[in-house]
Amino acid sequence: MKKQVCKYSIIRFQPYPETEEFANIGIVLFVPATKRLEFRLLDSKHHARITNFFDSVCKPTFIQTSKVLRAEIERIKGFMGHTDIDLYSELVREREDIIRFSGNRALFCSDPVAMVNQLFEHYVHRSFLTEPGYEDKMKRQVRDLLNKYKLGEQYKEGRIGEEDKYEVNFPFINLAAKQSIIKPIHFKHTKPSQLIDHGLSWLGKIQQLHKLGFIAPEQVLFAYKAPDDNQKKLYDAFSEIKIQIEGGGIVMEDVNNQGEIVRFASI
């Protein structure tokens, strides 16, 4: 697929203009050559990051604003290609409102949907914060385990998917006849919303790869590190997201459960 110039803007929720504080809640992307508009918004059900950042008073405001904004962007998207009016510029223009848009930014991309998801993970889910620290230590732990059982040569870092469609980097991929993946994933977050966002982010990646036919969920094992069970709110959030991930067909094993990880890696 040919790469095209795209414009994008970060969607921001700013309930208190007096403080100039805002939370990133979405991405809108426009392809001028084809007049294609794509966007992704934080689900109104995932309001915890908003109330944690501001206060609980913002919850109903965010939910209602999110619904109105989603409907408006869908409406504008429907008009794209049927008018000469620059609807994208009108959408993201500077205004005094509870919803603000960042300045226009440009990039090249071949898949607008995949790019919107990538930008959303970066600016909303802050994916760049999740890898260092815990997950680096977990990668070393899994690598040592695979080497111990003479499986290290079979599992290499690599990418699943295709550049022109959708691809994801994984630290441990077995490219043998039965392709399998091991992904260390930590849930040692300080807030339930961060924990849930991280889990949903990786669940979404696997679901997208599965949708495009690159991998089946049961070929993926998440080697996890859970919150301490005495951290009730965090552990409850972890239990919920674990159910969702396993419901999607992905194998979940504690990173210290060496026997099950080796059994999966040996299949």
Domain CATH number, residue 254? 3.40.1350
Lookup: tokens for 104: 């226009």
DSSP E strand boundaries for 32-176: 36-41, 99-101, 105-109, 155-162, 166-174
Half-sphere exposure of 144 (CA within 13 A, CB side): 9
| 161 & 47 share domain | no
The verdict on 111 and 185 lying in the same domain is: no
- pLDDT score, position 110: 86
* 52 & 148 share domain: no
Per the structure, the complete domain to which residue 70 belongs is given by 4-123
d(Cα 95, Cα 143) in Å, to the nearest integer? 51
Helices (H), 80-217: 87-92, 112-123, 134-148, 192-211
Q: How many domains does the chain have?
A: 2
Q: Are 61 and 133 in a shared domain?
A: no
| pLDDT for the residue numbered 131 | 46
3-state helix, strand, coil in the chain (%, to 5): 40, 25, 35
106 and 136 fall within a common domain: no
Is residue 119 domain-shared with residue 135, that is, in the same domain? no
**Whether residue 87 is found in the same domain as residue 213:** no
List the chain pLDDT tens, one digit each, 267 residues: 578 899 999 999 988 877 778 889 999 999 999 999 999 998 877 666 677 667 666 788 888 889 999 999 999 999 887 888 889 999 999 887 889 999 889 999 888 988 998 898 888 876 555 444 678 889 999 999 999 999 988 999 988 998 888 889 999 999 775 689 999 998 988 888 888 988 998 999 999 999 999 999 999 999 999 988 788 899 999 999 999 999 999 999 999 999 999 999 997
Q: Which of 25, 82, 22 is nearest to 54 (CA)?
A: 22
Burial class (CB in 10 A: 0-12, 13-18, 19+), 180: buried
Query: Same domain, yes or no, for 117 and 134?
Result: no
Domain boundary residue, one of 101, 123, 145 = 123
Pick the last residue of a domain from 104, 123, 142: 123
154 and 113 assigned to the same domain? no
Do 30 and 133 lie in one domain? The reply is no
Dihedrals φ, ψ of 158, to 5°?
Answer: -175, -170
Please choose, from the candidates 14, 194, 190, 178, the residue with its C-alpha nearest in 3D space to the C-alpha of residue 95. Answer: 14
Largest separation between any pair of C-alpha atoms in the chain: 64
The size of the chain, in residues, is 267
What one-letter code names the amino acid at 76? I
Number of H helices, E strands in the chain: 8, 10
Residue type (1 letter), 225: K
Three-state DSSP class for residue 223: strand
Nearby residues of 66 by Cβ (< 8 Å), 6 or more positions away: 25, 41, 42, 43, 44
Which of 90, 123, 156 corresponds to the end of one domain? 123
Residues 118 and 233 both lie in one domain: no
Give me the pLDDT at residue 57, please.
66
* Distance (Å, whole) CA 165 – CA 180: 20
Q: Do 40 and 152 sit in the same domain of this protein?
A: no
CA proximity to 160, closest of 115, 118, 128, 206: 206
Of 136, 241, 143, 222, nearest in space to 183 by CA = 222
